[in-house]
Amino acid sequence: MSNKSKKYAMLFDLRKCIGCNTCSIVCKSENDVPLSVWRAWVKKIEKGHYPHVREFSLPIVCNNCEDPICVTVCPVNAGIKRPDGIVYIDPHRCIGCRYCMASCPYGVRYINPRKKIAEKCYWCHHRVDAGLMPACVVTCPTGAILFGDLNDPESEIAQVIAKNAVHVIKPEMGTSPQTYYIGLDIEAVETVEEEK
């Protein structure tokens, strides 16, 4: 199904994101994600002191990196980088060693509590291959998520990325993430929960 001339990317326009978690929920039902784990979620942080407070949302999915460290370290070649850019895990091959989870800088992988193998977001490749958009893209109520082919100059995502200041999470990791953000807040990426 995959086409060599395609290069898929996803874009979150955080100016439009209202943090409603629709993407998290539709992902759960589309991909049959078990309880306690998530393929897509919205990290929320709060900045400032009352009354000058603002809440920021950061929707997180797999970055489907161009140079994915998870594929490099997988000992059984279960992580596969498709020519069109989607990184997916072969569920029949994964042995659940968790090395990909240990090396992923974004923490997007989890062990499926039922199957005991690694899983993550793969931009709904079953829908993309059928000519549909990923589930989170079609359900986002504000249209904040774009998905498409960067090699096609006519596609909406290619035009938006060409005309706007975009950023990715943790570019210093050298993985070339393909999930882009407009209006990414540095604090939303770097603030982590206090150790318990």
Partner 1 sequence: METQVLYNITHQETFGLFIAIYFYLTGLSAGSFILSTLSYGFGMEQYKPLGKVGVVLATILLIFAPLFLLFHIGAPYRAWHLFVYLNWSSPITWGSFLLVLYPINCIIYGIFMFKGNLKLTRLFGFIGIPLAISVHGYTGFILAFGKARALWNTAIMPILFLASAIVSGIALMILVCLIIGRFFSKEKTINKDLIFSLSKMLAWMIVFDLFLVGSDLLVLSISHSDAQAAFHLLLGGNFSFLFLVVENVLGKILPFILLVVPRFRNLVTVTIASILVVVGIFFMRYVVVLAGEFIPLL
Binding site for partner 1 (CB under 8 A): 37-38, 41-49, 55, 60, 69, 72-78, 93-99, 101-107, 109-111, 115-118, 169, 172-174, 187, 189-193, 195
CB of 128 to partner 1, least distance (A): 24
CB of 77 to partner 1, least distance (A): 5
CB of 163 to partner 1, least distance (A): 28
Stretch (H or E) spanning 162: helix 156-163
Strand runs (DSSP E) across the chain, as ranges?
Answer: 8-13, 41-47, 54-60, 79-81, 87-89, 110-111, 118-119, 145-149, 179-182
Task: Tell me the C-alpha to C-alpha distance, in Å, between residue 136 and each of 26, 31, 61, 93, 166.
Answer: 6, 11, 10, 27, 20
| Of 94 and 161, CB closest to partner 1 | 94
| Of 41 and 133, CB closest to partner 1 | 41
| Of 104 and 136, CB closest to partner 1 | 104
CB of 113 to partner 1, least distance (A): 9
Query: How buried is residue 60: exposed, middle or buried, by Cβ count under 10 Å (0-12/13-18/19+)?
Result: buried
